[in-house]
């Protein structure tokens, strides 16, 4: 019997080597385009696997313990790039997790998240290559695990996952990337500015995918998107976001004017 996309996504999620994981995701994306092998109903047991697979480095520490240095130093720029690379590595894992964990979604859902996994792998490769150009590599600095912690919290409900990972945790990147980009413009790191422009464009699409499937599930369960989102934020103790918000990017990513108004009213000032 043919192994389906969802089984392979689980297998690749368990890989601990970043290079092996990225190579496997690129291959899976290419193979699936040629021969779309997909079983949407199967429920998989991951108890025999370490999910997600983690490299020995970086050391994972609380967010406030993550190093910060002045951007005018090479180490300072490397630390900033390393933090972004870690986010992208976690984003590969969350896309793979979204594929294997949740059965009975439409075929397009799994195709969407496979594309996200491929694009996040590309982002990680760009950042890690640039890190190498500065004399560093992924794992050289500590990192925090906040994004994956929310993935763990929402493992039992695809609606909660769509609400609180792509359209909450990942959407924060839409707000942060322009600020980070300005810092690299100031230190004249042209290559990093180009990478951040690619990331922002792609991340708008990733958040839009999260928004689209969140709204699909709300419609299927006859729930009001704004009301249920508030309830899920409370239930799962999602962080209250702090402005400023990149409103044009969030609109492109599928947030409504009403949702953005609620977000701004609830934000930490």
Domain map of the chain by residue range?
Answer: 60-266
Q: Inform me whether the pLDDT recorded for 144 exceeds 90.
A: no
Q: What is the pTM of this model?
A: 0.95
User: Quick one: average pLDDT of 82-97?
Assistant: 96
Q: How confident is the model at residue 1 (pLDDT cuts 50, 70, 90)?
A: very low
Q: How confident is the model at residue 61 (pLDDT cuts 50, 70, 90)?
A: confident
CATH topology of domain 60-266: Ferritin (1.20.1260)
Q: Is 210 exposed, middle or buried (0-12, 13-18, 19+ CB in 10 A)?
A: buried
User: Quick one: average pLDDT of 136-159?
Assistant: 92
The per-residue pLDDT for 146 is 82
User: Quick one: average pLDDT of 206-211?
Assistant: 98
The per-residue pLDDT for 15 is 97
The average confidence (pLDDT) of the chain is 93
């Amino acid at each position: 019997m043919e192994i389906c996309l969802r089984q392979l996504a689980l297998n690749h999620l368990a890989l601990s080597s970043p290079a092996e994981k990225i190579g496997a995701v690129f291959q899976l994306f290419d193979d699936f385009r040629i021969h779309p092998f997909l079983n949407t109903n199967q429920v998989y047991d991951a108890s025999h696997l370490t999910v997600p697979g983690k490299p020995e480095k970086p050391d994972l520490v609380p967010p406030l313990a993550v190093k910060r240095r002045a951007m005018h130093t090479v180490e300072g720029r490397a630390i900033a790039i390393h933090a972004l690379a870690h986010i992208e590595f976690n984003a590969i894992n969350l896309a793979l997790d979204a594929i294997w964990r949740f059965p009975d979604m439409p075929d397009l859902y799994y195709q969407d998240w496979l594309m996200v996994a491929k694009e996040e792998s590309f982002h990680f490769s760009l950042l890690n290559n640039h890190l190498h150009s500065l004399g560093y590599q992924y794992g050289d600095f500590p990192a925090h695990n906040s994004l994956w912690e929310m993935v763990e919290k929402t493992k039992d409900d695809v609606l909660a996952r769509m609400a609180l990972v792509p359209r909450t945790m990942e959407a924060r990147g839409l707000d942060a990337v322009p600020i980070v980009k300005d810092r690299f413009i100031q230190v004249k790191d042209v290559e990093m500015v180009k990478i951040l422009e690619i990331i922002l464009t792609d991340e708008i699409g990733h958040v839009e995918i999260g928004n689209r499937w969140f709204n699909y599930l709300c419609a299927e369960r006859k729930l009001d998107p704004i009301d249920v989102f508030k309830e899920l934020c409370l239930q799962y103790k999602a962080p209250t976001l702090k402005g400023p918000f990149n409103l044009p990017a969030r609109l492109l990513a599928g947030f409504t004017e009403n949702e953005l108004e609620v977000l701004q009213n609830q934000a930490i000032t």
